[in-house]
Amino acid sequence: MIAAEPSQFFQLHPELKRAIADGEGWRELRPIQEMAIPAVLAGGDCLILAPTAGGKTEAALIPVLEMLLRQRRAGLQVLYLCPLKALLNNQLPRLERWARRVGMEVFLWHGDIGPSQRQGFLRQPAEILMTTPESLEVLLTACGPRGRGGLWNGLRLVLLDEIHAFAGEERGDHLLCLLERVTAQSSRPVQRIGLSATIGNPERLLEWMQPTQRPGQVVDPGRKKGKKRIEVHPWQEDHLRHLQVARLTSQGKSLVFVDSRRKAEELSQSLESHGQQCFLHHASLSVDSRLSSEKAFQSATQACIVATSTMELGLDVGDLDRVVQLHSPSTVASMLQRLGRSGRRGQPAHMAFVTDEHWSFLQTCALLQLALSGYVEPLEPSQRSLAIYAQQVLARTVAEGGASEVSLLAPWDSYAMRGLLDAEKRAVLDHLCHIQLLQRADGRLILGEESARKLGGDGYRELFSVFSSAQQFEVVTSGGRSVGQLDAWFAWSLVGQRQASFALGGSHWRILDIDKAAGRMIVEATGEGTLPQWHGPPRLLHFVLCQKIREILTVEDQLPFLNTKSQRLLDFLREQWQPVLQKAPVNLQVRTPGHRLFTFAGGRINQTLALLWQQVHNLRPTFNNFYLHFGDEFGDLESIMRRLRDPAEIDLSSLLPPLQLGKFQQYLPPHLEQRYRAERLLDVDGTRRLAKVPWSIVERE
């Protein structure tokens, strides 16, 4: 008989063992925690994978506290970063409880923390600092190039929570640059630990978060194979789908996800009209409104909370009976994250999908099929973050009182900058000087004449966040209570209307006054109002997901998660689509009115094709994730195919619309700004691969 491996628990410091056994009342550690302890204590960088509520926070905290206990030192030792201020607030009691049991302190630094508290931390730093990348930028600027009082000198470890929410986004590129600046001020190598939900390519995520040439390890216990209850309800009409959501959420506690703030407002009103206790949670509500919803929902026994992706990243609202999804998530990873919010009391995870159109029904079926096969989308982070390079050049110049041009042109350690060419860096520096944000002085770059005016005044506030959003109006009651925000264009569309009113936060408001200079709207409660609209980025679906939708339409298999009604709808859709799609992998449907090219290739490839048609034939087809739509002409198909098969470079960047994709792209020289948009919106290599599969022309009329 082979003896079981001894638990890592017995190797821990006595104070930490007491914190676990007596403080938490645990009789054993979870597998992810057993695996993480030796990996973290070995000293290399680690990526710890586990689903929501899988115990990954403690999997990192236990060995981190063990390291601090083995070698006690004064001052800041651990930097804890996560994507959301709300998640920081949510995690603070948890980290404080663990730290104080072993005689350590935690400090939370973000925009709601007062100046006196911040100054107290800087005078006597806690061992653990919790913050967001944006607040870290503020702190780096406030402390200067060497850190006030050597704040970063003793830093030993960076803990990156929900790291998958950063990778592939400009916030993540910004984060890596900040870590490079912070760790350069430490007297020792700084270990990095990432905490992530399940992703398709964890080794790439580990590589992304690390400096170059560092040992690292992925700690992955594998996906938990617990029982799951999945329902798909293909309702289409507004009143029927809302009625279906009301039925699903009539018992117990439910978290309802929607794909837009407008739908959240609309659905919450509908559920309230059905007599249900319903709370609301989205990014345009005030912090107080969101906290109020979280606390009220947590203490309720029969209620639902309607949310956008703001609730996806693990905010603790207590045990849930089910998760309901109106429409469909856009990725398998997002679906798994949301599914993991339920099933925490030994019950099967329960997720119900209420689809609002045929495409969302098919997208739901495809996501579930991919999840059943074990597929999760790979992360595809960029090594060419041009706009963040411009932002960091400006931020370093502010923080350091000027920066050496040689240091700015030298290779940067962070993954996001490794692919930038020297000529591109020089072009950015030249352009920043040309527009007078910077100026040259004896081999250094210092702030130029336009810097204060364009970057938020003497405090250079615009540099602290890489978020880019529409101008917002703060909505405030006549008594001074903040309700939330509206996009400025929508706010002004209401002006001049008789008794202009709107819905926000589950209530209706009448406009009393608008202060344009202050960006503030004064309101009072009223009986009814228009649902607001917010602008959002287009949803460009992944190639694999779109291809799975096509596959589902072309086969005859019964899907195990569909009930009889849902399967009948799928059979109906298959009858409609199979005559077109079974001809070839790509199909041009010639008909009147309007021709369609069905690729099921995703938004980036289809946008590339649309611009190629514009370049070759001067036609401007519209596109979505599944097909291109033409008018009466579609040109010569063979000339498009020849262009794609030609090894010569295809440059479509000048044809892209002038979309603002990032806050700092405006500070790039024109040719690099075009290249920046092309790298984010187009996929020329994927389009070339698509040209190698058979294409057909069907339904000539």
**Which long-range contacts (C-beta less than 8 Å, at least 24 apart) are formed by 688-692?**
688/644, 688/645, 690/586, 690/599, 690/601, 690/605, 690/644, 691/641, 691/644, 691/645
Q: How far apart are the first and last CA of the chain?
A: 76
The helix/strand/coil state of 84 is coil
CA nearest 320: which of 389, 229, 395? 229
**In this predicted model, what pLDDT tens digit does every residue of 235-294 receive, in sequence order?**
766 567 788 888 988 888 888 898 877 788 888 888 888 788 888 887 667 777 777 887
- How much is the pLDDT for 404? 94
pLDDT tens digit sequence for 550-584: 999 999 999 999 999 999 999 999 999 999 898 88
Confidence label for 1 from pLDDT (cuts 50, 70 and 90): very low
Which CATH architecture does the domain made up of 8-219 adopt? 3-Layer(aba) Sandwich (3.40)
d(CA 614, CA 655): 8
In this structure, the strands spanning 627-629 and 596-598 are: antiparallel
The share of the chain scoring above pLDDT 90, in percent, equals 51
What's the pLDDT at 421?
Answer: 96
Assigned CATH for 386-457? 1.10.10.10
pLDDT at 701 over 50: no
Cα–Cα dist 181/137, whole Å: 10
CB neighbour class for 668 (10 Å; exposed up to 12, middle 13-18, buried from 19): buried
CA distance 640 to 653: 17
Is it the case that residue 377 has pLDDT exceeding 90?
yes
C-beta separation of 349 from 342 below 8 A: yes
SS (H, E, C) 439-466: EEECCEEEECCCHHHHCCHHHCHHHCCC
Query: Following CA atoms 612, 618, 620, 621 in sequence, which dihedral angle do they give, to the nearest 10 degrees?
Result: -60
Any idea which architecture 228-372 has in CATH? 3-Layer(aba) Sandwich (3.40)
* pLDDT tens digit sequence for 500-542: 677 776 677 888 887 766 678 888 888 766 655 545 555 789 9
pLDDT grade for 468, boundaries at 50, 70 and 90: low
Which residue, among 584, 574, 522, 523, has the nearest Cα to 549 in the 3D structure? 574
Instruction: Please tell me whether the overall predicted TM-score, pTM, comes out greater than 0.95 for this model.
Output: no
Q: For residue 396, with 0-12 CB atoms within 10 Å meaning exposed, 13-18 middle and 19 or more buried, which class applies? A: buried
Please compute the mean of the pLDDT values over residues 167-175 and round it to a whole number.
93
Residue 565 CB: number of other CB atoms within 10 A? 11
Q: What is the pLDDT of residues 580-601, one digit of tens each?
A: 898 889 998 887 778 899 999 9
CB 441 within 8 A of CB 683: no
Segment 307-315 mean pLDDT: 73
Share of the chain above pLDDT 70, in %: 89
- Per this entry, what is the length of the chain? 701
